[in-house]
């Protein structure tokens, strides 16, 4: 019979290992940090996702403003109309 061995590469990440080490050091009294600093390695993945979403959101807002500005310039809006259009997205005439 042939045996098939399956291996999974699940395990603790570097950030998780660092977080566990910080908790152990905090509980044993070797470091006198705030619990916020001790728990920071556990929040790394969440922070990375939030930064990614912020970059995507900024890109979307900037492209929307750019295309509104181009459309407003094609319509030859005056300065006050241009500002209202860039903010509200409607043409007031």
- 13-59 pLDDT per residue, tens: 888 899 999 999 999 999 999 999 999 988 888 888 999 999 999 99
- Examine residue 38 and state whether it is found in any structural domain, yes or no: yes
For residue 22, CA distances in Å to 10, 12, 16, 44, 90 come to 22, 15, 10, 14, 53
Considering its fold, how many domains does the chain have in total? 1
- Examine residue 4 and state whether it is found in any structural domain, yes or no: no
- Examine residue 18 and state whether it is found in any structural domain, yes or no: yes
- Examine residue 68 and state whether it is found in any structural domain, yes or no: yes
- Examine residue 30 and state whether it is found in any structural domain, yes or no: yes
State the pTM of this model: 0.55
Structural domain including 19 reads: 14-88
């Amino acid at each position: 019979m042939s045996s098939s061995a399956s291996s999974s590469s699940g395990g603790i990440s570097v950030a998780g290992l660092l977080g566990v080490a910080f908790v152990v050091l905090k509980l044993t009294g070797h470091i006198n940090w705030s619990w916020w600093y001790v728990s920071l390695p556990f929040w790394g993945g969440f922070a990375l996702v939030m930064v990614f979403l912020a970059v995507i959101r900024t890109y979307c807002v900037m492209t929307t403003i750019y295309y509104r500005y181009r459309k407003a310039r094609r319509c030859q809006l005056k300065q006050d109309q241009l500002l209202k259009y860039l903010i509200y997205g409607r043409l007031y005439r």
